[in-house]
Amino acid sequence: MNYEAGFQEIYHGVLMVDSNGYILACNKAAKELLGIDGQVVGEKAREVLPDSAMYEVFETGMPVLNNKVDIGGRVILSNHKPVFEGDKLTGVVTSFQDITDLDVVAQELEATKKLNKELEAIFNSSYDEIYVTDGEGFTLRVNKAGERFYGIKAEEMVGRHVNELEKLGLFSPSITPQVLKSKKRTTLIQTTKSGQKIIVTANPVFDEKGQIIRVVTNSRDITELSSLRQRLEDTEKLMENYRSEIAKLRKERIKTSEIISKSATMQQILALAGKVAGVDSTVLIEGESGVGKGVVALKIHQLSKRSESPFITINCGAIPEDLMESELFGYEGGAFTGAKKEGKKGLLETASNGTVFLDEISELPLNLQVKLLHVIQDRRLRRVGGNDNIDVNARIIAATNRNIPRLVKERKFREDLYYRLNVVPLIVPPLRHRKEDIPVLVEHFLEAFLEKYEIHKKIAPETLDLLLNYNWPGNVRELENLVERVVVTVDSLEVLPMHLPDYILHTDGSSAKVFIMDICPLRNATDELERQLLNKALIKFQNTYKMADALEVNQSTIVRKMHRYGILKDSIQLELKEFDNI
């Protein structure tokens, strides 16, 4: 056999160099890999391969292995080994191998390992459970969330059939067999061993032949969500009960409500209310807070042909904006999470054939102003989440305590809606502009609270004079609250000026501590002043010594003057008697 011919046909490149650095042999594979043309045997190796690592072998006598170099875009792996004859280094043998494809594979393998590590981290960091089985139902992988659901380690589930785990009570029912049978995505509610409710969705994975090779299941804990849904349903039922009770109360209110007024201004307002009650025109009632806009709206309803139908009051400023739309217009079943399956009527729909009173209309969000405008124009509405138009036969009465034209200029209220509402404007004046109504209102409230608390009181003339001089920024509501206050807090039959709050006694804002009701002799005025001061001090301190300190006189003076004016109180009778005995 020709050894030279065999040497030339070796698959890997081989190069031999003697101890002097001359090339002794070089096969065809080595020439091809190193890009060498022509005959190189007998040539100096450094001239042919100036940068080779083989020269390190000559210097150290140690082999240099797995040395990779880039030659012409190819990755060449070389191994340089020394040749010894006895202890003498006589040369170096170098083998060359093209590992370009292997290097690409190694890089791809490294990238795959890195990607697999990232996917593993993502898999286990998911808050939702990810559960993977093969095409027969045997568990392949379970992430950390599954351990939280079932209370055992993932490795204890891997390799086991889902039916076995279901029998152990880890979860019920098992979803994988259902997917293997139906070959479709399936969703259901499972109960875990610890009693958690989880919503489970399983997806089949098919091979090219249409066979299921994996079932991937995602699960999420809905225990708290189920609890919240139940609470929401309970709240909805409670709200329905409240609505029913409120409707009953409104009916009672309609029967008993009346407008108490003697002033010519209010009589004109009521006359106009009577006229508009006979038609279905939209009415806008304007006026300060507490003037009785709601009572006027109710009066219009009572006088109208709709009086036997519902009168629904909606305070646009009291309902949260995110609930306002569903409250006004209702919603279809399934319109949002927690919605009733059958849907719900809105207040506008509930008021069919009746009257809707939109109080504080200026607080209605702009997007709902558009929908309300369409209801007024078209007499139809569309529920939240619905596609069908529903006929609405309800009269609209709106009220506001704000300057809507100014809001229109500020683009906070729609101009077209304002004109639709303001067909018949009614402006209810504040109580300070119709003071002739104060006495009749006071009398009315006294009678009402007499019936409610079974306490009889009367207002002294001088007290009524003070009430007439007060500006009443809270209007009728403030007057009603004050009358109730004095009815339940004043012990005597007659409500005197001293029983009124200081802000009513000092309506001019001065720092004066006394008030004058009428012209009288100076001596009488002095006596009245002393009597009032003693009364107020007695109410405040309930003790003659403290009264003396506050009024900066002797205690004996206090006792003497109290005897003089007949100001006695059971709580201090003993104190006065003891003083008399001194």
Residues 65, 74 contacting (CB under 8 angstroms): no
| CATH number of the domain where residue 471 is located | 1.10.8.60
CATH code (residue 61): 3.30.450.20
The span from the CA of 261 to the CA of 431, in Å, is 10
Longest dimension (CA), the chain: 157
How confident is the model at residue 509, as a pLDDT? 39
Residues 179, 155 share a domain: yes
| pLDDT surpasses 50 at 274 | yes
Split at pLDDT 50, 70, 90, the class of 250 is: low
What sign has the CA pseudo-torsion 206, 211, 213, 219?
Answer: positive
b vs e for 258-274, b when ≥16 Cβ sit within 10 Å of the residue's Cβ? ebbbebeebeebbebbe
Q: What distance in Å separates the CA atoms of residue 446 and residue 477, rounded to the nearest whole number?
A: 14
533 in the same domain as 400: no
> Which residue, chain included where needed, has tokens 């209007």?
475
Provide the mean pLDDT of the chain: 84
**What's the pLDDT score for residue 572?**
44
- Gap between the Cα atoms of 30 and 257, Å rounded: 113
The pLDDT of residue 223 is 73
**Are 412 and 436 in the same domain?**
no
Helix axes 544-551, 573-580, angle to 10 degrees: 80
Instruction: Clarify whether residues 296 and 423 are in a common domain.
Output: yes
How many separate domains does the chain show? 5
Q: Is residue 88 in a domain? A: yes
571 domain residue, yes or no = yes
Pick the last residue of a domain from 103, 118, 151. 103
DSSP letters for 19-50: TTSBEEEE-HHHHHHHT--S--TTSBHHHH-T
pLDDT given at position 460:
92
Residues 315, 422, single domain; the answer is yes
55 located within any domain: yes
**In terms of domains, do 149 and 32 share one?**
no
**pLDDT value, residue 568:** 60
To the question of pTM greater than 0.75 for the whole model, the response is no
Coil, strand, or helix at residue 102? Answer: helix
Task: Give the model's confidence band at 575: pLDDT under 50 very low, under 70 low, under 90 confident, else very high.
Answer: very low
Does the residue 16 lie in any domain? Answer: yes
Burial class (CB in 10 A: 0-12, 13-18, 19+), 98: middle
How many helices (H) and strands (E) would you count in the chain?
A: 25, 20
In a domain, 515, yes or no: no
Q: Kindly state whether residues 284 and 355 are assigned to the same domain.
A: yes
Kindly state whether residues 417 and 451 are assigned to the same domain: no
φ and ψ at 397, to 5 degrees?
-120, 125
Q: What angle do CA 24, 25, 30 make, to 5 degrees?
A: 140
Other C-beta atoms lying within 10 Å of the C-beta of residue 327: 16
pLDDT score recorded for residue 573: 47
Contact of 337 with 380, CB cutoff 8 Å: no
Q: Is 84 helix (H, G, I), strand (E, B) or coil?
A: strand
User: Are 170 and 47 members of one domain?
Assistant: no
CA-wise closest residue to 384 among 317, 319, 337, 320: 337
Examine the domain organization and report whether 469 and 540 are in the same domain.
no
Q: Is the pLDDT of residue 120 over 90?
A: no
| Rounded Cα distance, 336 and 516, in Å | 66
**Structure confidence at residue 574 as a pLDDT band (50, 70, 90):** very low
Q: How confident is the model at residue 345 (pLDDT cuts 50, 70, 90)?
A: confident
Kindly state whether residues 416 and 277 are assigned to the same domain.
yes
Residue 327: is its pLDDT beyond 70?
yes
Answer whether residue 16 shows pLDDT above 90.
yes
Of 401, 429, 457, the last residue of a domain is 429
Label each residue of 473-496 as H, E or C.
CCHHHHHHHHHHHHHHHCCCCEEC
* Sequential DSSP letters for 501-568: -HHHHTTT----S----S---HHHHHHHHHHHHHHHHHHHH-SHHHHHHHHTS-HHHHHHHHHHHT--
Please name which of 478, 504, 488, 503 lies closest in space to residue 446, comparing C-alpha atoms: 488
- The one-letter amino acid code at 259 reads I
User: At which residue do the structure tokens 């990779």 appear?
Assistant: 68
Domain contains 239: no
Of the listed ranges 55-59, 110-114, 508-512, the least confidently predicted one is: 508-512
115 falls within a domain: no
Note whether 403 and 441 are same-domain residues. no
Over 70: is that where the pLDDT of 198 sits?
yes
**SS3 state of residue 202:** strand
What range does the domain containing 19 cover?
A: 3-103
Note whether residue 511 is domain-resident.
Answer: no
**Closest alpha carbon to 412 in 362, 460, 378:** 362
Chosen domain end from 221, 250, 271: 221
